[in-house]
A and B are shown apart, each in its own frame.
Chain A
């Protein structure tokens, strides 16, 4: 018990240290070259010095770091410089974050569900050629960059439909959105793109399959099946730990891929927001989103670690 608490405390401490390091790196990076955005607004050196003083950029790095953290602990991430001048960054982020969550969670679920289905399919004997084709298609599909996959999906749906509409064969389907309209198909395609593209599906499949195969060949699993015992009650808890590890590792991937997918499908989430903010050189907004995303990933790693501590007694002994 004492051991477990120590392990948990150690991991929590590590998480806090990572948060501190991540935020320091971000702030140091952003203050290292206080160039572009301010240069866009000011014209004379005095004006620039004035603006710097107003924004607190002339203070030493650690003072700025402490000031930023002071704000963050109150939920205040500063104000946007360019994206929407003067608006509080936290107010800007909240609706966008919700939209992105609605995109990422289904995509994660789809990737893992897809991977498990494929693994179950591969377990059955027979159909070796079909299996080979499915395996290589999963591999090839995953190589496609996200933007290309989104683009191809859009074209695959739009071009035939457009041609058919032009020739008067069909009327305009409800999902064939005109610019400015919302269409549910857009979200479905975005989720599929995020789930499959960029190596995620094939990576998850590879790792999960390796873990599952290794698990099934373990002696206790073989003996359970031999005596007719409950396969699933032994399989599921043991596959849970590697699955969570893979899940946590892929979360960062999804958060990165969200930028491209939101751009291609024109969804106003966090990815689109940081993209526009980076283009506009709106540093507070970019910093806030980067930090929140990095903190989320670090938190997920912590969560995965703690889950392992809870599930796997061997980890507690370390």
Chain B
């Protein structure tokens, strides 16, 4: 199949893959090594400076900042995967069917897309959160559902394009089933890079939503559990005088690097796949 080494030679892809692999490793580490946020409180070492024992220092109640940054990945990793799964399934099925068969499917799909895209995503999330006490998985599922029209749109365009190509017509004449043509020849060989790009963008978007909600405070990750968002919210009160900058810098850098890495990987895969 495709030579993955050519992908790795692109700097964007290398950076993105490094970020994704680190993220996964950190998540595995966080799963294995438990972190009790309450037990970590040690008022004797408030705002300790960076040292070997506390590589990024400690926060306002003495908890190690680096440890909290690493364990924040628990807040978004699996919810992000769930969102991607939802968007992928919905997008592929919806876009594929409406592109291939058209007719009622396409009309219903267009209407559903218009409905979903009419809501600004953050506001829809607020609406659902105000009704149901969801937690991160519900929010991520919602984000996945809201995102699937974009995936479906991309798939739809590709399917429409390929449906009229000669090799697909040849496949039909040969008697290949519709399902085989659609999923194997059109989707797998031709649509995968853009779909992967959308999914990586979605993962970055879920991280964005989770950190924003945790920063704002009411929904998302609550104290004492760590999240890059709520660490920043706490930091903002202490950093305004220009001290303890690492308290804010750590989570901020984590957010930037992670999202940038994911988006770069998405772009790189898309460019590489659609030469």
List the interface of chain A (C-beta within 8 A of B). Answer: 14, 17-18, 21-22, 25-26, 29-30, 32-33, 35-36, 140, 143-148, 151-152, 155, 158-159, 162-163, 198, 252-253, 255-257, 259-260, 263, 274-275, 277-279, 281-283, 286-287, 289-290, 293-295, 297-298, 301
Contacts and interface: CB of A to CB of B under 8 A. Distances in A.
Interface residues of B, number: 40
A193 B228 CA distance: 20
A29 B236 contact: no
Contacts, number: 134
A163 B242 contact: yes
Given A155-B248, A257-B122, 14 more contacts: A29-B128, A29-B131, A144-B256, A148-B252, A151-B248, A256-B123, A259-B126, A260-B212, A278-B127, A278-B218, A283-B130, A286-B127, A294-B123, A297-B117
- Secondary structure at the A interface, as helix, strand, loop or mixed, is helix
Nearest to B115: A21
A18 B111 contact: yes
B216 A162 contact: no
A260 B216 contact: yes
B219 to A, nearest CB: 8
B252 A30 contact: no
Nearest to A18: B114
27 contacts: A14-B114, A18-B114, A18-B115, A22-B115, A22-B118, A29-B128, A30-B131, A33-B131, A145-B259, A147-B211, A148-B232, A155-B248, A158-B240, A163-B242, A252-B121, A257-B122, A278-B126, A278-B129, A278-B130, A278-B219, A281-B131, A283-B131, A286-B127, A290-B119, A293-B119, A294-B119, A298-B114
Contacts of B123: 255-256, 259, 274, 289-290, 293-294
Contacts of B130: 36, 277-279, 281-283, 286
Contact of B215 (A147, A155, A294): A147
Contacts of B252: 148, 152
Interface in B120-141: 120-124, 126-133
Q: Which 4 residue pairs of A and B lie closest in terms of their CB atoms, listed nearest first?
A: A256-B120, A278-B130, A256-B122, A279-B218
A140 B123 CA distance: 25
Contacts of B131: 29-30, 32-33, 35-36, 281, 283
Contacts of A293: 119-120, 123
B123 to A, nearest CB: 6
B151 interface: no
Interface of B: 111, 114-115, 117-124, 126-133, 208, 211-212, 215-216, 218-219, 229, 232, 236, 239-242, 248, 252, 255-256, 259-260, 263
From B123, B229, B260, name the one whose CB has the most chain A CB atoms within 10 angstroms. Answer: B123
B255 A253 contact: no
Contacts of B248: 151, 155
Nearest to B207: A145
Contacts of B239: 155, 159
Nearest to A259: B122
Contacts of A163: 242
Contacts of A297: 117-120
B118 A18 contact: yes
A274 B126 contact: yes
Contacts of B127: 26, 29-30, 278, 286-287, 290
Contacts of B241: 159, 162
From B121, B122, B255, B260, name the one whose CB has the most chain A CB atoms within 10 angstroms. Answer: B122
Contacts of A274: 123, 126
B211 A140 contact: no
Nearest to A32: B131
Nearest to B122: A256
Contacts of B215: 147
B261 to A, nearest CB: 10
A268 to B, nearest CB: 15
Contact of A263 (B128, B216, B229, B259): B216
A145 B211 contact: yes
A140 B15 CA distance: 14
A241 to B, nearest CB: 18
Contacts of B218: 275, 278-279
Contacts of A145: 208, 211-212, 255, 259
Nearest to B261: A143
B126 A286 contact: yes
A298 B239 CA distance: 42
From A36, A147, A259, A293, name the one whose CB has the most chain B CB atoms within 10 angstroms. Answer: A147
From B126, B131, B208, B248, name the one whose CB has the most chain A CB atoms within 10 angstroms. Answer: B131
A17 B111 contact: yes
A140 B260 contact: yes
